[in-house]
């Protein structure tokens, strides 16, 4: 049983790093490393259609994503277009550890995941359940560890995400992962080709645990910023922002708007996604009013998180941009 991984880090930065593939030549679509609530895989086609021409014409030098989350948009854009530097931020420490570990020591990450997968799949369901909760307990016992290149911990993040109920990443107010065991017959825990492709695409990225406001330090006229903040709930029961122990309320949405407005004045190109609050209450035009000076496009999306499959229907989401 692999439960004594500890915090020892095998630094193989030089050997693990791969040549970043030329734009448009990525050997596969990475998609997302984690199953991610609110991930943008399903909206990639609409997002591609709303990218600025400067990006598609390779005139963007810096790409910034202040809420990296599942990373679907970054990996899609990085595999298609060239830019000199990327800045990827989040307030979720486990995501920062995960992406830095993929970038800097993918060899160790693959090795640990391979052992976890072999060990887990060899067990019957009851033994798997026991194993899952032991791993989760260990994971939560090490929350104070904040070494952001830690492939052993990154492997546990992927393991829990791939074997927990509904593939969620959710934490409680203490920051503890609290999703229960999921009864999957043959879950894929290791996807080596995807991890190695992601490692190559991350080589020109700076990945930091920080608030979105740090975006201002790096944005200029040759910058493209994509924002995917925790969505504003579209109903009293739809809120799912617990991927970190911090909340993202209307005051935070307004603070994000002030950053968006400030960077617009600096000439940065920006695209932001969020929920369409008029889906269930036509009079709730929170974002229409807040971003009234910018271009707001409504796109079709599917609600993927609901205990009742019949309520996972099509809804509208917003794409807000400051360019034509």
Is 250:308 a contact under the CB 8 Å cutoff? no
Is 274:229 a contact under the CB 8 Å cutoff? yes
The reported pLDDT for the residue numbered 23 is 52
The reported pLDDT for the residue numbered 39 is 76
- pTM exceeds 0.85 for this model: yes
Output the average pLDDT for the chain: 87
Q: Which two tokens stand for residue 163?
A: 């074997």
Give the lowest-confidence range in 16-25, 181-190, 198-207, 253-262: 16-25
Alpha helices for 125-166 (secondary structure H) = 125-141, 151-163
What is the mean predicted confidence (pLDDT) over 21-33? 64
Q: Which two tokens stand for residue 169?
A: 């990443």
Is 219:267 a contact under the CB 8 Å cutoff? no
Which tens digits make up the pLDDT trace of 238-264?
444 455 566 899 999 999 999 999 999
Q: Which two tokens stand for residue 298?
A: 């409504």
């Amino acid at each position: 049983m692999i439960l004594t991984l500890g915090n020892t880090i095998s630094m193989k930065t030089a050997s693990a790093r791969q040549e970043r593939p030329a734009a448009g030549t990525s050997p596969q679509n990475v998609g997302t490393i984690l199953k991610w609530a609110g991930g943008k895989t399903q909206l990639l086609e609409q997002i591609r259609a709303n990218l600025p021409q400067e990006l598609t014409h390779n005139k963007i030098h810096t790409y910034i994503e202040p809420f990296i989350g599942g990373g679907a948009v970054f990996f899609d854009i990085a595999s298609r277009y060239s830019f000199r530097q990327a800045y990827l931020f989040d307030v979720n420490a486990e995501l920062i550890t995960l992406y830095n570990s993929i970038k800097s020591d993918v060899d160790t990450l693959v090795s640990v995941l391979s052992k976890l997968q072999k060990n887990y799949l060899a067990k019957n369901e009851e033994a798997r359940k026991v194993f899952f909760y032991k791993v989760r307990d260990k994971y939560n016992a090490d929350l104070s560890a904040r070494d952001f290149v830690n492939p052993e911990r990154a492997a546990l993040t992927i393991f829990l995400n791939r074997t927990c109920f509904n593939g969620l990443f959710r934490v409680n107010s203490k920051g503890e992962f609290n999703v229960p065991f999921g009864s999957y017959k043959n879950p894929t825990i290791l996807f080596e080709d995807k991890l190695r492709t992601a490692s190559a695409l991350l080589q020109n990225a700076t990945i930091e645990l920080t608030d979105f406001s740090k975006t201002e330090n790096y944005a200029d006229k040759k910058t493209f910023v994509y924002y995917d903040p925790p969505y504003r709930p579209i109903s009293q029961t739809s809120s799912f922002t617990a991927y970190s122990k911090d909340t993202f309320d209307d005051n935070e949405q307004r603070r994000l708007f002030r950053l968006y407005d400030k960077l617009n004045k600096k000439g940065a190109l920006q695209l932001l996604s969020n929920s369409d609050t008029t889906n269930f209450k036509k009079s709730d035009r929170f974002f229409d009013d807040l971003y009234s000076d910018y271009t707001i496009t409504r796109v079709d999306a599917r609600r993927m998180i609901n205990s009742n499959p019949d309520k996972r229907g099509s809804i509208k989401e917003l794409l807000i941009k400051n360019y034509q």
